[in-house]
Amino acid sequence: MNISINVTEQTDEQVKVAIAGEIDAFTAPKLREKMEPFSLQEGITLIVDLSQVNYMDSTGIGVFVGLFKGMKSNGGHLQLIGLSDRLKRLFDITGLADIMDINPEVKGGVE
């Protein structure tokens, strides 16, 4: 049950973050703590690379829903990239793929 969260690029307008490991009830609080400050910034685009995430449960979904809402309320934009088929399906069956910017085809966009 490990997770790593690395900011790989940051400008005034855009932040790129690479996440690796598992997102579950144990690691979700760490993810939320690390990501929440970005949702409070005005008008930024946050690009989150999930290509190295091998497992995510509903607590992980909850973190991304909160992040999405925070970003949107501050005029920002959240994009999730590099999702495996399994993660993409998780967002599809919850209906979140219809409202969030999810681009599973972009792989390794964040180093």
CA 61 to chain centre: 9
CATH of domain 3-103: 3.30.750.24
Tokens of residue 8, six digits? 């790989």
Tokens of residue 104, six digits? 């599973």
Please tell me the pTM assigned to this model.
0.91
User: What whole-number distance in Å separates Cα of residue 51 and Cα of residue 40?
Assistant: 25
User: What whole-number distance in Å separates Cα of residue 89 and Cα of residue 75?
Assistant: 27
The model's pLDDT over 6-50, given as tens digits with 9 standing for 90+, comes to 998 889 899 999 999 999 999 999 999 999 999 999 999 999 999
Q: Where in the chain are the domains?
A: 3-103
